[in-house]
Amino acid sequence: MIMLEIKGLNVAYDKVQVLWDVSFNINEGEIVTLLGSNGAGKSTTVKTIQGLLKSRSGSIRFMDKSIGGLPAYKVVAAGISLVPEGREIFPKMSVLENLILGAYVPRARAKDLRDESLDWVFKLFPKLEERKKQLAGTMSGGEQQMLAIARALMSKPKLLMLDEPSLGLAPVLVLQVFDIIKKLNEEGVTILLVEQNVHHALGLSDRAYVLEKGRTILEGKGFELLSDKYVKEAYLGM
Amino acid sequence: MKLDRINIKTGIGIVSLILAFIVPVILGINQYLLTVLIITLVFIIYSSAWNLLALSGQASLGHAAFFGIGGYVSAIITNSLGLPPIVAIFVGGFFAAFIGILIGFTCIRMREWFLAMVTFGFAIIAHTITTELPWLTGGWDGIPAKRLISVTITNYIMYEYYIMLLIAVAVVVIIYQLTKSRMGLALEAIRENELEAKVMGINVTKYKLMAFAVSAFFTGIAGALEIHHFGYITPEVYGMDISFWPIIYSISGGLFTIGGPILGTIVITFIWEILRTFGLMYERFILIGVILILIVIFLPRGLVSIPEKIKRSHP
Ligand SMILES: Nc1ncnc2c1ncn2[C@@H]1O[C@H](COP(=O)(O)OP(=O)(O)OP(=O)(O)O)[C@@H](O)[C@H]1O
Ligand SMILES: [Mg+2]
């Protein structure tokens, strides 16, 4: 069943158009990766889905409802959560406060639901429970990334979008992040992954789309794209 | 450890509150002292209101506009409709809140300096409009405003003091409750990282406007209370100094805290008045300036952080 359907999306910053007629879809339960070189428009795409940017034209449908043009807080309430690029956290708040903010939407805020979600994310990220009281800004880069993911989960998303979650992490941590993504998916969370770490991402994904200069130019099964000539040349340097 | 720190602060709060209530009893009805205390209470309300807006990351440099609007509206309707001041101050507050929402709308997408300039300019506009409407506002000369308590009543100043005290306590309690509520959490998140706040599902526009409305409401009430105490209002209420005092009080007391604006207002006002009794009318500007610089350098989190500082140096 199609969970998210993007059709003919055109997005511009002021006068500079950066997304051209972008279309793709994500089925319930899938992990889909969005590949593309720097400046291809990946972040723009996920921000537009989240409601942080307005599209010029095109449609965004989520669980059979149009969410195009809705403000971000309504998109979160509908069940989409974003882990933005570059570990954006609330640095002067404690880890716990960060997580509580993650459960801000009506769907997730009830005390018992929130405690349940806390248990869930603490099980996924035991380190965060130890660091509960620490100021988020004083944690290491890797821990902050874990917090950013955990916080996005606090809203109990049906679709989780991660914008380059492995960026700047040590190899061990990269593996850990991909493990977590896999685990989440097995627990029923549908995933849209933006990645430059092509090998790992494609190995994990059901399907992937390649975005170039703001256009979707390729689509395929994860492992198929790994052996695709274009992808090999452009991203794997082979 | 966190617990006894809270206890120290609550303790100090309760003791000061009791002191505030018995001051007229122990020191007698001292007209001068009670006048100073009344103005202090007005500015406690005003600074707490300014600080609430600052909590949402919106630092206003023109809050005198709301202070003055509250004052003028309240004065005008008591004069023309004969409403008692104690009712009119709330009308003044609502009017200020309404204007606050309009200003808030223009500021929604602005950050720091731009927002500061818009609010600053707004105070100038409010001043100009007021002086240009003499039939309504009395122009440069201003208009009389009914006293909160008629001066013909014996010990009227004491009654005035108690009314101000009750309103100030109520305002501080309401602001405290707001900051502890979901709204407070949202405002803090917006201040720290607005984009992130949106991603968390917070309706940023709504909360920024609410902060503007509530802040302008209490500021308008403070302005109205002040002019009903003085018995008149002139365009001087829009002065730059009136915009800057709540900032000075909040920063010196402790930005984004509940106790900060209260403590800052009390301490700075008392130093200000003591300097005056020494005859230092102009020198006191310099001295206050020096004190502010010292506080910012040595107590960046304001006077309210003194207990923690002491605790840390004597563990
Ligand atoms: N706020 C903005 N204003 C103007 N142009 C922007 C803005 N943000 C992004 N762009 C431009 O839009 C294009 C797409 O940017 P985007 O951030 O979506 O790329 P990306 O695929 O996420 O790249 P990266 O892999 O480097 O993160 C780029 O050319 C970028 O310069
Ligand atoms: Mg990007």
We report the CATH number of the domain holding residue A50 as: 3.40.50.300
- Domain ranges for chain B: 30-241
A19/A120 same-domain check: no
Dihedral (CA of A226, A229, A232, A238) sign:
positive
Are A89 and B188 within 8 A, CB to CB?
no
- The predicted model scores a pTM of 0.92
The ipTM assigned to this model is: 0.91
A161/A238 same-domain check: yes
**Single-letter residue type at A184:** L
Quote the CA–CA distance of A132 and B179 in Å, as a whole number.
Answer: 22
Distance from the B260 Cα atom to the nearest Cα atom in chain A, whole angstroms: 19
A229/A176 same-domain check: yes
pLDDT at A199 over 90: no
Quote the CA–CA distance of A104 and A93 in Å, as a whole number.
Answer: 15
- A96: pLDDT confidence band, cut at 50, 70 and 90? very high
pLDDT tens per residue across span B183-215: 999 999 999 999 999 999 999 999 999 999 999
pLDDT at A227 over 80: no
Q: Are A164 and A85 in contact, with CB atoms under 8 Å apart?
A: yes
Give the per-residue pLDDT at A238. 59
Average per-residue pLDDT in chain A? 93
Burial of residue B154, with CB atoms counted within 10 A of its CB: 0-12 exposed, 13-18 middle, 19 or more buried:
exposed
Q: Which residues of A103-129 are buried (b: 16+ CB within 10 A; e: fewer)?
A: bbbebbbeeeebeebbebbbebbeebe
- A207-212: strand order across its sheet: A80-83, A159-163, A190-194, A31-35, A207-212, A215-221
Residue with tokens 């223009």: B106
Dihedrals φ, ψ of A71, to 5°?
-70, 160
C-alpha Rg value of chain A to the nearest Å: 17
Dist. CA A214 → ligand 2 center (Å):
12
Give the per-residue pLDDT at B124. 95
Q: Which of B261, B279, B271, B174 is nearest to B217 (CA)?
A: B174
pLDDT tens per residue across span A105-155: 998 999 999 999 999 999 999 999 999 999 999 999 889 999 999 999 999
The last residue of a domain, from among A155, A182, A200 = A155
- Domain range holding A68? 1-79+157-238
Query: A2-13 and A16-27: which strand pairing?
Result: antiparallel
Interchain contact A126–B (C-beta under 8 A) = no
Q: Are B233 and B79 in contact, with CB atoms under 8 Å apart?
A: no
Give the per-residue pLDDT at A236. 65
Quote the CA–CA distance of B228 and B151 in Å, as a whole number.
Answer: 11
Give the per-residue pLDDT at B1. 43
Find the DSSP H helices in chain B. Answer: 2-27, 31-55, 64-81, 85-107, 112-132, 134-137, 156-180, 182-192, 194-199, 204-230, 240-253, 259-277, 283-298, 306-313
Q: At what angle do helices B64-81 and B240-253 cross, to 10 degrees?
A: 120
pLDDT at A2 over 50: yes
For chain A, positions 21-40, list CB contacts with chain B under 8 A.
Answer: none
pLDDT under 70: residue ranges of chain B: 1-6, 315
A176/A216 same-domain check: yes
Give the per-residue pLDDT at B181. 94
pLDDT tens per residue across span A68-87: 999 999 999 999 999 999 88
Give the per-residue pLDDT at B128. 95
**Single-letter residue type at A172:** V
Domain count, chain A: 2
A158 or B314, greater pLDDT: A158
The last residue of a domain, from among A118, A138, A155 = A155
For chain B, positions 199-228, list CB contacts with chain A under 8 A.
Answer: 199-205
* Atom 9 of ligand 1, residue of closest alpha carbon: A44
A161/A231 same-domain check: yes
